[in-house]
Amino acid sequence: MKKWVVYIPMSVQFVTFNAAQAGQRLDNFLITKLKGVPKSHIYRLLRKGEVRINKKRVKPDYRIQEGDLLRLPPVRVAESDAPHKVHDRVLQLIADSILYEDDGMLVLNKPSGMAVHGGSGVSYGVIEALRALRPDEARLELVHRLDKETSGCLMIAKSRPALVYLHAQLRERKVKKTYLALVEGRWPKAVHKVDLPLLKNQLASGERMVRVDTAQGVESLTTFQVVQYFKNATLLEAHPFTGRTHQIRVHTAATGHPICGDDKYGLKQPVQSARQIGLKRLFLHALRLQWINMDSGDRQTIEAPLAADLEQCVDKLGLDLLSKEEKA
């Protein structure tokens, strides 16, 4: 049962950003500051111009600069009578999913089916579970996001300086991300990159949809490399050079080869092979992350093992391919 309380202070609030806060997106700052406020309401405040920077309207993706003056209106916050308890099984799953950790950050092998954060009907996500697992670490923050059904490498900052540093690396494209995707059909050998601008929309239901839009879309580039061809599908490595919402999913769909198991951008009637291999979710896995270590300055690489369900699908496809070759 939820109750509504008034966010303190009850009048307009002004915040001047310092150097440590510079570089982060405005919407991410507001989501963190206004805990308990639905994200849809935060974006509504931005659209209506009630949240302003230096007395001007700004977009959600505005990058905060040192010295910026934020105007924040009074906000009503939805609070639960009691916090949601994270199940012990989930806490253990998160603990077992840690691939790498140092003083400033950690990398998780995010399980498929788990959102990165709570909201929109989700009681809690990876970041809330990690905070429950480590109550003494108050500064844990998501560095980037993965879709709920996507598994693999997810970076978490353990301090504000680490978050600012990693966000800067993302902006400067010093973080290299590699995904594994199984797509429908035979990917054209000549297609090594998809450079199509993307526009994000929000439907009346609140669902986010992204489409190619050459007039209003923002720059979006993904490169692709074929790992293996199968009878009715292709296993690809995808390297997004920009970090747009659903970028790989929309770029593959735009070529006519959507990701297998994609119920948002995929084919209405998936090829028979996807059903035969028992694929029950989006075949997209954040395989590898490369970044420059904050302390040593060395380039670091972390890989997340392919999730068991996707590994079984690849094995079945491989066996099917082998049997066809033997018969030939």
Catalytic residues: 147
Distance CA 309, CA 20 (A): 41
Identify the CA nearest to 284 among candidates 179, 185, 208, 192. Answer: 179
- Report the candidate in 303, 273, 186 with the shortest Cα–Cα distance to residue 236: 186
Instruction: Tell me the backbone φ, ψ of residue 52, rounded to 5 degrees.
Output: -135, 150
CA distances, 157 to each of 26, 46, 164, 166 (Å):
17, 26, 9, 8
Of the candidates 89, 325, 92, the one whose C-alpha atom is nearest the C-alpha of residue 229 is 325
Residue 228 has, within 13 A of its CA and on its CB side, a CA count of: 11
In whole angstroms, what is the distance from residue 312 CA to residue 306 CA? 10
288 beta partners: 178, 303
Q: Count the neighbouring beta carbons within 10 Å of the beta carbon of residue 90.
A: 18
What's the half-sphere exposure (Cβ side, CA atoms, 13 Å) at 67? 0
